[in-house]
Structure 1
C-alpha cells in the first residue's frame, strides 16, 4: 500500500547533518547535478524541490534516487540514520502534489507517495542491494526509513 506520510521520529540515531558547511555542500551538489546531471559521488542524484510545510517557500535539496517501476523515482528519507526524518520529508507530506525534480537537464513535476508494506519491502531490497550504505543508516536508528515514490504528474 502506498500513500500516507505517517513515519514517526525515532528515539536514537546519528546526528542529523546540518549547518553552514552542509548548506554550502548542498549548493555545490545541486549546481553539479543541474550542470552535469546523472551521478554525484557514484550515485544517481536529483534536485528535489518542495514547498516548505510552515514557510510556504520553495526548498531545493540534492538527494540520491533509484529507479522505480513504470519510470518512477525512489528516494529515501534517511537523514544518514538520524532519529528524525529530514525536513524535506515533512514538506512532501504537507504538499505531495507540489513537488518537482531536476535531473539530466530537465525539470519534471511529480506527485509523491510513501511506500508501505510489501511495496516498501521490495523497494528496500532493491535500494540496499544497489547502495548498502542505506542498510547501515537504518541500523543506526530505530525509525523505519521512509521510501518515497515520485511519479510524473500528468498534464
Structure 2
C-alpha cells in the first residue's frame, strides 16, 4: 500500500501543548494510562496534513464496533468549527490509528443518515458528552468511519 507509506514521513506535534503531551503519554504507555482530555478509552489518530503532508497525531475517544472498524467524531467540544484533522481526512481519506500497542492503516469515509446515527449511538455510549457538543453548535458534527486497509 504505497499511499500509506506517507505515514512514515515526519511527525509534527500539535502546536497546542496539551494535545502533544497526550500523544506522548499514549505512545509512552501504549495507551494504558488514562487521558486527561479524552478519558480512559482512547486512541491516537494519525492523519496527513492537507497542506503540509506531515503526519499529525490526535488523541480521540475510542469508538469501535468490535469487528475492526472505528469511528472518529469531529466534535471539538461543540466549538463552531471542526478540528483540523477533519480537514485532513477530507483532503486525504486515509488514516493510521494506534489502539493500545497496535498500529494499523485505514481507509476513511465520512458518513451521514442512518449509518451516522448508528455510529453516533455507539459514540455516545462511550462518551455521553457528544450529544451536549452537538447541542452547543449549529454545525453538524462530522463522523468518519475507518475501515481496515487492504
Q: Which runs of 5+ in 1 are unaligned?
A: 1-18
- DSSP 3-state at the match of 1:75: strand
Q: Note the C-alpha offset of 1:69.
A: 5.7
The answer for unaligned runs of 5 or more in structure 2 is 1-13
8 A Cα contact 2:49 2:88, kept in partner: yes
Secondary structure of the structure 2 residue equivalent to 1:70: coil
1:126 equivalent among 104, 122, 126: 122
Between the two structures, name the one with larger relative contact order (CA 8 Å, sep ≥ 6): 1
Following superposition, the deviation at residue 90 of structure 1 comes to 0.5
Equivalent position of 1:40 in the other structure? 35
Correspondence for 2:148 among 121, 144, 152: 152
Q: CA deviation at 1:79?
A: 0.8
Over the aligned positions, Cα root-mean-square deviation in angstroms equals: 1.8
Q: Distance in 2 between matches of 1:129 and 1:106?
A: 23
1:78-118 Cα distance to aligned partner (Å, 9 max, x none) = 01111111110000111113x11122112111111112110
Runs of 4+ in structure 1 over 4 Å off: none
Deviation of 1:141 after TM superposition, in Å, equals 0.2
Question: What does residue range 54-65 of structure 1 map to in structure 2 within 5 Å?
Answer: 54-65=51-62
How far residue 46 of structure 1 moved from its aligned partner, in angstroms, is 1.4
TM-superposed CA distance for 1:35, in Å, is 2.4
